[in-house]
Each structure stands twice: as C-alpha cells, then as structure tokens.
Amino acid sequence: MFDHFPFLTSLDLSQNPIRVLGGSTSLAIASLHSLEYLNLAYTGISDIPAGMIHSLIDLVSLDLTGNQFTTIPPELKNAHNLTVLILDDNRFESFDADSFTVRKIYQTPFYS
C-alpha cells in the first residue's frame, strides 16, 4: 500500500472508518520505518495489533483520539521513542500498574 513512500515521516488516517487494524493495513503501516507522526484519531479502532508499533522505531507522536479503546493497548510498550501520546475521547474502563509503562511520554492528555 505504501511501497512507493519508504521515507514517509507523517501519516494522517484520521476520520477514516478503519475500525480494525488488521492484515494488510497493519502490515502497510508497520512497513513505514521512517514514520514519526501517526494520526489514527476517530477511526473506530479498539486495538493495535501485536508487532505493528515495534518496527516504527522513529515514531514520536501517536494520536488515538476518539476511538473505542477501553484499556491502554499493550503494543504501546513497543513504542520506544514515543514522546507524545494523545488518548482523548476513548472509552477507558480502568488502568492498572502496566497501563503506562511506555517510556518518555511528555504529553498524554485524555478526556472521556
């Protein structure tokens, strides 16, 4: 899907009715090794597939505003350089000790 954009640093998929980041979509995003900014706001997703974030070693900003998350996605533990995480307007039910083990987050506003 993004084969012709190997040096893409910013991707805004917000407002698209993705609902599930599976199969070819998650593989396409994971192949963007230079990606620094990813906006998945208001896409209807409730999870991030295992392995999708791990290959995004340059990712510094992730916007998950307005989705269906009820817990912090475990895959975020693989976001090694993430400094901005936006979680506004989700459906969080609870947080536990492992919810925020992501390192170096400087901005994490969220409102329910």
**According to the model, what pLDDT value does residue 104 have?**
54
Distances (CA, A) of 8 to 16, 37, 89, 107: 19, 9, 27, 23
**According to the model, what pLDDT value does residue 85 have?**
92
CATH of the domain at 67: 3.80.10.10
Q: Which domain holds residue 53?
A: 1-112
The mean pLDDT values, 10 residues at a time, for the chain of 112 residues are: 88 97 92 96 96 94 97 90 93 78 55 53
Beta-carbon count within 10 A of 76 CB: 19
The total number of structural domains in the chain stands at 1
Residue appearing with tokens 């593989």 = 27
**According to the model, what pLDDT value does residue 109 have?**
57
